[in-house]
Amino acid sequence: MENSEQLIVCGGCNAKIGPGDLGDLLADLPKVTSDKLLVGFENTDDAAVIKISDDQVLIQTLDFFPTMVTDPYLFGKIAAANALSDIYAMGGTVLSALNIVAFPEEKDFHILKEILRGGAEKVQEAGGILAGGHSIHDHSVKYGLSVTGTARPEEVLMNNAGQIGDHLILTKPLGVGVITTGYSVGEISQEAFEEATGYMQTLNKYAMDIAKKYPVNSCTDVTGFGLLGHLHEMLHGEFSAVIESNNLPYFKEAYTGAKEFILTAGGQRNRNYLADFVSFEIDDFGIEELLFDPQTSGGLLISIAEDEAENLVKELIEAGIPAKDFGQIIEKTTNEMIVK
């Protein structure tokens, strides 16, 4: 049975609640205090970190979303890679995963089987144990994983521990939101779509395996808030950053598409929220959109000392990972993020 045109394109990380709204929602929730909870939701980090002994922590995350491609097997792989990424972004190793499924009662269950097959293959590739899950009927298809990882306490990478002078490295090209949206309406080529989905289903495990060899100060993965949204969290009101637009990794057709106003709802939410935090010293709408573009299963955003950055980028590239050193953390200025 052909897999194409079996799912409706309606989401991915583009469906994520905007950063401003999410912050407001979480602000008044009761805070849990425990000496075992090292990282909780108030940290706006990628996952929770729970201490279970002096030499081991658990990293827990959950991620799911609606479909952004029509092929169910491909969707399963992308959704799983996206959920697993939070473990890698925090320097951990995947231990186990549970499926999260919403599926219309009237749809062909072979479609669901293909989604689960794609997800299971990615968990297996990650070296994790797929231990079950939970499913419900719903009007639209949604899929993801709850993932548990492990690490030693000293291995945990936070998303807000960058230092002044650190260089900023991104390990996957920007623009998958524009690509998938444009492809669904016939405005992006098959070749560009296949290139983008190839990266979307690639585990960030391989980039982190290399990054762990270096004294990384801070790390996060770039998903629904776009590069600027996740960089904003990394700077956490204490620093500023300069972005060299000529050094950004992005898909060429995504840039062209953005200039032709192939836009995403998530990108516009990100733009609205981040408008007061970013200054553009360039006149390039395409670059602006790529910086706001919500990424589904995006790359790692790594903050590392200047004298280590070149060697890390070199080793990543030698491993086939298209990493780029695109900016630097600086002392706090009037403009938090300056795009040159």
Count how many Cα atoms sit within 13 Å of the Cα of residue 207 in the half-sphere of its side chain. Answer: 29
What end-to-end distance do the CA atoms of the chain give, in Å? 49
* Rounded to 5°, angle at Cα 47 from 157 and 225: 95
203-247 per-position pLDDT tens digit: 999 999 999 999 999 999 999 999 999 999 999 999 999 999 999
User: Is the C-alpha dihedral spanning 320, 310, 90, 162 positive or negative?
Assistant: negative
Which of 120, 155, 190 is the last residue before a domain boundary?
Answer: 155
How many distinct structural domains can be found in the chain?
A: 2
**Does 45 count as an annotated binding residue?**
yes
For the chain, list residues with pLDDT below 70: 1-32, 34, 36, 38-46
**Does 276 count as an annotated binding residue?**
no
The set of residues, in sequence order, having a beta carbon less than 8 Å from that of 191 and lying 6+ positions away, is: none
- Whether residue 213 is found in the same domain as residue 90: no
- Residue 4 is predicted with a pLDDT of 39
- Whether residue 137 is found in the same domain as residue 251: no
**Does 293 count as an annotated binding residue?**
no
- Whether residue 235 is found in the same domain as residue 303: yes
Residue whose tokens read 């006149």: 283
Nearest-angstrom CA–CA distance, 32 and 103: 33
- Whether residue 171 is found in the same domain as residue 75: no
Strand order through the sheet with 167-170? 216-221, 300-304, 167-170, 324-331, 239-243, 337-339, 278-280
Q: Choosing from 6, 12, 13, 303, which is the catalytic residue?
A: 13
Cα-Cα-Cα-Cα torsion 254, 259, 265, 266, nearest 10 degrees, comes to 50
- Residue 107 is predicted with a pLDDT of 85
- Whether residue 176 is found in the same domain as residue 286: yes
Global pTM? 0.88
Q: Determine whether 10 is an active site residue.
A: no
- Residue 43 is predicted with a pLDDT of 56
Nearest-angstrom CA–CA distance, 294 and 298: 9
- Whether residue 63 is found in the same domain as residue 194: no
State the DSSP string of 26-40: HHTSPPP--TTEEE-
**Does 46 count as an annotated binding residue?**
yes
- Whether residue 151 is found in the same domain as residue 171: no
Which of 155, 175, 201 is the last residue before a domain boundary?
Answer: 155
- Whether residue 237 is found in the same domain as residue 301: yes
Range of the domain at 274: 167-339
